[in-house]
Amino acid sequence: EVQLVESGGGLVQPGRSLRLSCTASGFTFGDYAMSWVRQAPGKGLEWVGFIRSKAYGGTTEYAASVKGRFTISRDDSKSIAYLQMNSLKTEDTAVYYCTRVGPWLRAYYFDYWGQGTLVTVSS
């Protein structure tokens, strides 16, 4: 059974940093791209970014709203994906979901989701 478990959320002041982790199980983690999607309170879904598998270079892509501030990385030996969030803004307040990306190159849909972790940016 595929499982994705996020951790690291919490309350943080504007301008500070936070790192989220996503621990995966139930599949060969290194074979898949992994992504982060967020949802502000009472709002819709917003893609944050993803990291390709090592087979496709392990490269990353980001939404314009977070590019230059957020960094996604992965540790295939531990089956963990990370989201490093710097220079946080109040508008980054959201539930952050870790997702597995579809199994084919450029199949950038999200076939499994974690339960999410809440990040609140407030002074």
Question: Judged by CB under 8 A, which stretch of 13-21, 23-31, 77-85, 101-109 contacts another protein?
Answer: 101-109
Phi and psi for 122 in degrees, rounded to 5? -160, 150
Q: 31 pairs with which residues across the strands?
A: none
| Minimal distance, residue 14 CB to another protein, in Å | 26
Query: Which contiguous run of DSSP H or E holds residue 77?
Result: none
Q: Which is nearer to another protein, 30 or 102 (CB)?
A: 102
Binding mask 62-81 for another protein (x = CB under 8 A): -xx-----------------
Judge whether 80 and 22 are in contact, CB under 8 Å: yes
CA 114/CA 123 separation, integer angstroms: 28
- Integer Rg of the chain from CA: 14
How far apart are CB 58 and another protein at their closest, in Å? Answer: 15
Q: Which residues bind another protein (CB under 8 A)?
A: 37, 44-47, 50, 61, 63-64, 97, 102, 106-116
